[in-house]
Amino acid sequence: MSSPIQGFSKLDKEAKIDWIAERYTQDPEAAKALLKTYWNNDARLQQLHDEFIENTLTNYYLPLGIAPNFLIDDQLYAIPMAIEESSVVAAASKAAKFWGDRGGFTTEILGTEKIGQVHFMYKGSTAALQAYFDHIKPQLLSDCADLTQSMEKRGGGITDIVLVDKSGELENYYQLHATFETLDAMGANFINSCLEQFAKTFKAGAQHFDGFTEAEQQIEVVMSILSNYVPQCRVRASVSCPVDELTEGTINGQAFAEKFVQAVRIAEIEPYRAVTHNKGIMNGIDAVILATGNDFRAVEAGVHAYAAKTGRYTSLTHAKIEDGVFHFWIEIPLALGTVGGLTKLHPMVKLALEILQQPTAKALMGIVAVSGLAQNFAALRALVTTGIQQGHMKMHLFNILNQFDASSSEKEAISSQFQDKTVSHSAVVNALKALRE
């Protein structure tokens, strides 16, 4: 086994590439050339990307597609989606068209509260701790004045701090549980800075608090960090139409609506199905989150925690038929930003936000929720009618053809051959072989 490298981060980019290619690849020259093929010709743009993370070697492309014709709260949007999976953008576009013809999507913001916690250990009387908290709370807020000033000017800031006793679940464990309004910012830096200031003030103040014994004065702060679980920063997106309007071609509206509602009910009660059902929703959500430079890991973590909030993992969407009207909706927590972070830095993110008409964070919450709902509608519509593979494999056809470097004329010929045939990997490969022979 070779020894670990020292000071890798100090090497320049070329040296890093040489090292990794020579140490870990079969054909170092090919690996180096490949990594460099993905560099941007514009040196300034490349440097910008190099500096987003550490030890950057090159760029990793994802396709950016557009799903047009989304009618959301009476406004038409073209939604940018960054995703590698075929069919997702097509499904979004189809669902947009379908619901655009039936009144569009409606959204409602159910809250915008973000959360952060100082986790600490305290050995002593809970009543004394509560008295100390009541005494120090104004100072917790005032010591953050420099941090909160500009957020407060815009109408946001710290909305509350409470003391939470968790010692029943973990010995000596308590929290400062704080809530924030961060407006159009995702707010992670703002929240974490406030929390670290709370922790400092709280710990220092305890050492001089008369109501504590000497032992009680020694509060041990374990960590201060925002929570990505934001059940009070929530959005609802919905569609509805008379069941008759769901009739399309050979599809009977009433039968379709009933089967669709059953499919949703299954996801509500069966976790194995719920996970795949929600994965399809996240196809739509993550693609917009990525395109707009938001943190998809944070959103994923928060959304799945929300899906499991009752103790059983369940569907994020719901559906019903009431008085002849089909209703389909989603409610999800989303902490998003349209200012700060990558939004002013990444040129593609700036463009995506421009395409979305410079949305506020609230408007983006609605757009993202709609994208998830649309994706779920398209998936369930296919699943309860033709099955998912028909549409999916058609899109997959091009991936297979690309794998074999098919030319445009070969692609055209093979796609027309598969117009009314089932696509499978081997069938496509055989057809291409036959064509080439």
Enzyme catalytic residues: 85, 279, 295, 392
Nearer to ligand MEV, 224 or 278 (CB): 278
Tell me which stretch binds ligand MEV (CB under 6 A): 76-84, 120-128, 141-149, 271-279. Answer: 271-279
The residue within the footprint of ligand MEV, chosen from 86, 93, 107, 283 (CB under 6 A), is: 283
Q: State the nearest-atom distance from the C-beta of 15 to ligand MEV, in Å.
A: 40
Nearer to ligand MEV, 94 or 277 (CB): 277
Residue showing the smallest CB distance to ligand MEV in the complex: 280
Are the C-beta atoms of 298 and 306 separated by less than 8 Å? no
Residue with tokens 């998003």: 336
Are the C-beta atoms of 375 and 357 separated by less than 8 Å? no
The residue within the footprint of ligand MEV, chosen from 23, 36, 135, 279 (CB under 6 A), is: 279
Are the C-beta atoms of 399 and 86 separated by less than 8 Å? yes
Nearer to ligand MEV, 185 or 382 (CB): 382
284 binds ligand MEV (CB under 6 A): no
Rounded CA separation 257/259 (Å)? 6
Tell me which stretch binds ligand MEV (CB under 6 A): 13-21, 276-284, 290-298, 342-350. Answer: 276-284
Rounded CA separation 16/156 (Å)? 44
The residue within the footprint of ligand MEV, chosen from 219, 257, 379, 431 (CB under 6 A), is: 379
Are the C-beta atoms of 270 and 264 separated by less than 8 Å? no
388 binds ligand MEV (CB under 6 A): yes
Instruction: Indicate the residue type of 37.
Output: T
Phi, psi of 332 (to 5 degrees): -140, 150
Which parts of 113-270 are beta strand (E)? 114-121, 157-165, 173-181, 220-227, 234-242
266 binds ligand MEV (CB under 6 A): no
x/- binding map, residues 50-89, to ligand MEV, per CB under 6 A? -----------------------------------x----
Q: State the nearest-atom distance from the C-beta of 416 to ligand MEV, in Å.
A: 26
77's tokens: 């949007």
The residue within the footprint of ligand MEV, chosen from 55, 232, 276, 389 (CB under 6 A), is: 276
Rounded CA separation 422/389 (Å)? 9
User: Counting Cβ atoms within 10 Å, is residue 365 exposed (0-12), middle (13-18) or buried (19+)?
Assistant: buried
- Binding-site ranges for ligand MEV (CB under 6 A): 85, 276-277, 279-280, 283, 379, 383, 388
